[in-house]
Structure 1
Amino acid sequence: MTHTVPGLVRRAAEEFGDAPAYVMDGRTVTFAELHDLVHRTAAGYHHRGLEPGGRVVLWAPNSIDWVVAGLAVTYAGGTLVPANSRYTAHEVADLVDRTHAALVVIADGFLGRTQIADLRALSPEAPILDLADLASLPADDTDLAAVEAAADAVSPDDVADILFTSGTSGRPKGVLSAHRQTVAAAAAWSAVGEVSAEDRYLVISPFFHSYGYKVGVLVGLLHGCTLHPMATFDPDAALALIATERITMVPGAPAIFLGLLESPAFASTDTSSLRFANTGAANVPVALVERLQSELSFDLVITAFGMTECVVATMCRRGDSNETVATTCGRAIDGMETAIADPDTGEHLPPGSEGELLLRGSQVMLGYLDDPAATAEAIDADGWLHTGDVGVLDDNGYLRITDRLKDMYICGGFNVYPAEVEQALARLDGVVETAVIGVPDERLGEVGKAFVVRREGGPDADAVIAFTRERLANFKVPREVVFVDALPRNLGGKVLKTELRSTP
């Protein structure tokens, strides 16, 4: 098997040729055409000064152009740095600065915003390219030959991508993954999902996320299936695509499937083509698994566990019961090990014991960008990744996540770290201190609730929410603000978020 991303692009063009690779908004691109577009765009990057090892930040929603722009980075020997399409310019400017980006590719105007102007105001020297202009980038024969040589030279051990994930310190951390890891994630996931060239894959997960990119874009290249990306999730539009395009695969958070099932259009939509659903990121009710099979017609429903630092760690398998699928995250995939440890002593515990989930194997990240201390804290001397999640392994190795050591919560399938929100709010005039927690939400799984201590005459709840919305992606913005005189603390001064969670 090919173990680099450029190798996958070439192999897909040779093996699947004129088969459709992408269909979106009336546009179809074959695998052969995709290779040509990627080659030409990579040459354009080279003409603009991108050298092997250079980093390119890509800030855009799902589109065929995103795929071309992203794959062209690694084809030119560079490292892809996807930015959340809902990030503010402040957040993207930080990524550009920390990665020393050689280029920044932006889809301007998404959600009615002015991304290019906003970033230029903050980073005047940033080398910005408009995604809409990539097709007209100049490139000569020298550039075309140079990127072919660069693609040839890419090694499976080279860094393919840097995906940023927030840390408990409140600042996003860059997760480094090698080409062999990025490709292996796609291979492992698609093997369990029984993916073939006959599949038509509705990609709702954003491409900037590991699930949209590594088990989306790369799965298509591996198996020759057709991808149908969505820029934003709309249940009615998704159902229309399922019916007209005879979609067979729909991975997504539970909220995605609930949105489909609860849509007024669902009753009149033919979903008989569906065969494979993959979900996770939150507890999945047994009743939802049953509805996916009986009402949405899925033959194979799989839950899984992964994180940016280890894209795919565990998955259920065909033949697992509905209860197993709903109440566990499956067992370790090939090449991975799982263990449960005492969070205080690090001692590994027997099956049935509750403790911190540890992961070890081929999928564990290379480390964090420019942060050896955080890397050493996350990955111990024996190679175990300390996830910060509390779980239990049964006698057969099936994993059940029971809690989190960290305060992170999941909103609509995206991880939110309260420390990042709290740090943003610390800059709001009139705010003394804050504590943010996740609270249950029927649609999104969890949403943020901010407890705020303010000075006299300080901001009201609307001002607090507006301030965070200006600076943070929408999934990080608290949905509720509660003003308190003081935050509960223990004798060591640590905020007692357990008490806040019990506050009405």
Structure 2
Amino acid sequence: MDIDRSILDVFKGAWSKYSDRPAFTCLGHTLSIGDIDRLSAQFASYLQNHTNLEPGDRIAVQLPNVLQYPVVVFGALRAGLVLVNTNPLYTQRELKHQLNDSGAKAMVVLANIADTASAVVSETSVEKVIVTEIADLHSPLKRTLINGVAKYIKKMVPDFSFDNQISFREAMSLGAKLPHQDVQRAPEEVAVLQYTGGTTGVAKGAMLTNRNLVANMEQVREALGDSMKEGEEFYVAPLPLYHIYAFTIHCMCLFATGNHSLLIPNPRDIPGFVKSLKGKRFTGFCGLNTLFNGLMRNPQFAELDFSKLHTTCSGGMALTRDTAKRWEEMTGCVVLEGYGMTETSPVVSFNPTEAVQLGTVGVPVPGTEVKVVDENGNDLPNNSPGELCVRGPQVMKGYWQRPEATAEVLDSEGWLRTGDMAVIQDDGYIKIVDRKKDMIIVSGFNVYPNEVEDVVSTHPKVAEVAAIGVPHDKSGEVVKLFVVKADASLSEEEVIAFCRENMTAYKVPKQVEFREDLPKTNVGKILRRELRDEELKKIEAAVSV
């Protein structure tokens, strides 16, 4: 495993070996690996010859899964810049914080969402804004048609303006006129500032180095083994590339091996998503529990051609047994659940393709050490629940400009405290019990929301479920469920009776609330925190009356 290469070395290897292979397809247009080489060089040239950016400066990229994403990201890295992946769904407050915290000097943004940036960019250090429209890399006719429909018929492009704005197409035209110079950065230098989801407190930038990202790419490739063949794979990419999980799979692992990704710009549009898969013989699929469920509820999904599908990866949130079993029944493909986090670039563990254990997140990827500790940091034996700690070449350098926060999670020996409660089995497989902060304590007994949700999700009338703890006079806390119905006839009594049949009494929910939908992050992870905050506000309001 060669982890002392830079990301640029990885890209160069792909360009020299697989130039003619398709790399990314989106909205009916495909760019080859050679196209990515040529176009990213043009973008690097623009950055080097027409801006004041220097190697090490930060550039924020606020794009969904469109063809411009790999071109911009690879070009920025070729110019020696540090990538700041930026969520297109950010509010003004969130975007302003990330731009100021990272000190980004430039920004690339999709026109469809540029109004948010235009409202705050003058209050940040951003000196140049590059605006792109959704089909800017398509052929002239298609570009005119798709961009015109988005702007004038569907009214998807809001009004915005920047004092320091240039169009992506103009930037690329300027970049094509002058040569660029690839900037080789050291393995230990930061390549990506990947901000944590911000589900607790202020979002922090995890400093991911060249070595971190290249190491995790190699670890994932080794974990997947022969199931990721060079130049033969066609993976569906519904998860956002600005999320480190999808970035590592599609922009690192697959690209480095000459493989092809189908970019899905809006996976929330399930009918449109399924339509884009028709006629495609894809070999791999990276998703998460809520996305799998949403697809399987669409009648047309079952009619797709799954004959070539041999790898389905799940991460980002817990995979329920029911979802995994139904996916396998419908597609003929076993789901390989793994575990990771932003701070680990992201993959820590993965289920081996030949030895899947449902309900676990597999075994550590090569070169990774894991252990569990108690509240005082003491090592615990196998089969004892404790906080999972990780050490390996994929562990971040630290949090950007936050030494205190770094010291809280990363010790002098390189062990990262994940904040997740886990059990390491005798066979080395890891079972995530739950997020430490999400644990519910009922009369002194620990109740893990993942377990409750796993049970309830097997009920045929339940589409989605989230469990939280709410205050209770007698037991300290009790379990409350939020349920999205798959069948309108489902009642609270039926849910509780089902839980009583399948769980110990203290784990049985005392309250059930039905919802049309549940709050989720941009990658589909259910936000228990928002549900807890709503409950606390209700309690506070009741007390003040």
**TM-score, normalised on structure 2?**
0.72
Q: Give, in whole Å, the separation in 1 of the partners of 2:330 and 2:338.
A: 21
What is residue 67 of structure 2 aligned with on the other side?
64
Per the alignment, residue 419 of structure 2 pairs with: 388
Letter in 2 for 1:211: Y
- Contact kept? 1:168, 1:406, Cα under 8 Å: no
Deviation at 1:301, TM superposition (A): 2.6
Give the Å deviation of 1:228. 0.7
1:183 aligns with 2:217: no
**Residue in structure 2 matched with residue 329 of structure 1 by the alignment:** 361
Q: Call closer, same or farther: CA 1:440–1:207 in 2, change over 3 Å.
A: farther
Q: CA deviation at 1:192?
A: 2.6
Task: Name whichever of 282-291 and 17-26 sits farther off.
Answer: 282-291
SS in 2 for 1:386: strand
Q: What SS class does the counterpart of residue 14 from structure 1 fall into? A: helix
Structure 1 consecutive aligned stretches of length 4 or more whose deviation exceeds 6 Å: 408-411, 473-477
Shift of 1:488: 12
Shift of 1:169: 6.0
Q: Distance in 2 between matches of 1:64 and 1:144?
A: 22
The aligned amino acid for 1:114 is D
Matched, 1:376 2:430: no
Q: Which amino acid aligns with 1:195?
A: M
- For the pair 1:78 / 2:113, whether they are aligned, the reply is no
Aligned partner of 1:217 among 238, 251, 275: 251
Task: Answer with 131-140 or 349-358: which moved more.
Answer: 131-140
Residue 486 (str. 1) matches residue 489 (str. 2): no
Listed one character per residue, the Cα deviations across residues 69-90 of structure 1 (whole Å, up to 9, x for unaligned) are: 1111111001000011111122
Letter of the structure 1 residue corresponding to residue 254 of structure 2: G
**Equivalences for residues 417-496 of structure 1 within 5 A:** 440-441=482-483, 478=530, 481-482=534-535, 483-484=537-538, 486=540
The one-letter code matched in structure 2 to 1:79 is V
For residues 399 and 125 of structure 2, the distance between their equivalents in structure 1, rounded to whole angstroms, comes to 27
For residue 292 of structure 1, report the CA deviation from its aligned partner.
2.4
Q: Counterparts of 1:128-143 in structure 2 under 5 Å?
A: 128-132=129-133, 133-137=167-171, 139=174
- Structure 2 partner of 1:244: 279
Read off the aligned partner of 1:372 and give its amino acid letter.
Answer: P
Report what 1:100 is aligned to.
103
Q: What does residue range 17-166 of structure 1 map to in structure 2 within 5 Å?
A: 17-46=19-48, 47-110=50-113, 114-120=115-121, 122-123=123-124, 126-132=127-133, 133-137=167-171, 139=174, 144-145=179-180, 147-148=181-182, 150=183, 153-166=184-197
Q: Decide whether aligned partners of structure 1 residues 395 and 34 sit closer, same or farther in structure 2, where only a CA change above 3 A counts.
A: same
Distance 1:125 1:167 in 2: 22
Matching residue's letter, 2:415: W
Structure 1 Cα separation of the partners of residues 408 and 485 of structure 2: 35
The residue type paired with residue 178 of structure 1 is T
Per-residue CA shift, 1:444-485, capped at 9, x if unaligned?
A: 9xxxxxxxxxxxxxxxxxxxxxxx99xxx9976947945535
Q: Which residue of 2 aligns with 1:261?
A: 296
Give the C-alpha shift of residue 267 in structure 1: 3.5
Q: 1:125 to 1:105 in 2, by over 3 A?
A: closer
Partner of 2:323: 288
- The secondary structure found in structure 2 opposite 1:281 is coil
**SS of 1:13's equivalent?**
helix
Name 1:195's counterpart in structure 2. Answer: 228
Q: CA deviation at 1:443?
A: 9.0
Once the two structures are TM-superposed, the CA of residue 236 in structure 1 deviates from its matched residue by: 3.0
Counterparts in 2 of 1:397-416, with a 5 A limit? Answer: 397-407=428-438
Question: Residue type matched to 1:486 in 2?
Answer: E
In structure 2, the residue corresponding to 1:376 is in which secondary structure? helix
Mapped to 2, the partners of 1:141 and 1:235 lie a distance apart of 38
Could you tell me how far apart the structure 2 residues matched to 1:443 and 1:44 are?
A: 52
- 1:128 offset after TM fit, Å? 1.5
Q: State the one-letter code of the partner of 1:108.
A: A
Structure 2: where are the runs of 5+ without partners?
134-166, 440-448, 454-465, 469-478, 487-518
Letter in 2 for 1:177: L
Aligned mates of 1:382, 1:391 — CA distance in 2: 21
Q: Please report how far the alpha carbon of residue 441 of structure 1 lies from its aligned counterpart in structure 2 after TM superposition.
A: 4.8
State yes or no: 1:349 paired with 2:383. no
Displacement of 1:218 in angstroms is 1.2
User: Does the CA-based 8 Å contact 1:80-1:161 persist in structure 2?
Assistant: yes
Q: Kindly state the Cα deviation for residue 382 of structure 1 after the two structures are TM-superposed.
A: 2.0
Question: Deviations along 1:116-156, whole A, 9 cap, x unmatched?
Answer: 433346549642111342232164689624x32x2xx2222
- What is the CA RMSD across the aligned residues, in angstroms? 3.2
Aligned mates of 1:404, 1:438 — CA distance in 2: 17
Flag structure 1 segments of 5+ consecutive residues without an equivalent.
419-436, 445-467, 490-504
Contact map agreement 2:236 2:261 (CA 8 A) in 1: yes
Give me the whole-angstrom Cα distance separating, in 2, the residues matched to 1:271 and 1:216: 20
Q: Which residue of 2 aligns with 1:422?
A: none
Q: Is the 8 A contact 1:242 1:271 kept in 2?
A: no
Percent identity over the alignment is 25
1:172 aligned residue: 203
Deviation at 1:438, TM superposition (A): 9.7
Q: Distance in 1 between matches of 2:525 and 2:368?
A: 34
Residue 137 of structure 2: aligned partner: none
Is 1:309 aligned to residue 343 of structure 2? yes
Conservation of the 8 A alpha-carbon contact between 1:305 and 1:329 = yes
Of the candidates 360, 363, 375, which is equivalent to residue 394 of structure 2?
363
Classify 1:304/1:104 alpha carbon distance in 2 versus 1 (closer, same or farther; 3 Å): same
> Do 2:59 and 2:104's aligned partners in 1 also have CA atoms closer than 8 Å?
yes
More divergent stretch after superposition (5-14 vs 476-485): 476-485
| C-alpha distance in 1 between matches for 2:354 and 2:16 | 35
Contact 2:290–2:525 (CA under 8 A) maintained in structure 1? no
CA contact (8 A) 1:340 1:355 kept: yes
Distance 2:352 2:169 in 1: 42
Q: What TM-score comes out, normalization by structure 1 length?
A: 0.78
2:106, 2:526 → 1: CA distance? Answer: 27
Change (3 A) 1:28 1:114: same
Q: Is 2:22–2:30's contact at 8 Å kept on the other side of the alignment?
A: yes
Does residue 5 of structure 1 match 2:7? yes
Distance in 1 (CA, whole Å) between partners of 2:51 and 2:432 is 47
User: 8 Å contact 1:304–1:313 — kept in the other structure?
Assistant: yes
- Rate the CA distance shift 1:266–1:140 in 2: closer, same or farther, 3 A: closer
The 1:142–1:17 alpha-carbon spacing in structure 2 relative to 1, beyond 3 Å, is closer
Is 1:318 paired with 2:353?
yes
CA distance in 1 between counterparts of 2:294 and 2:542 reads: 37
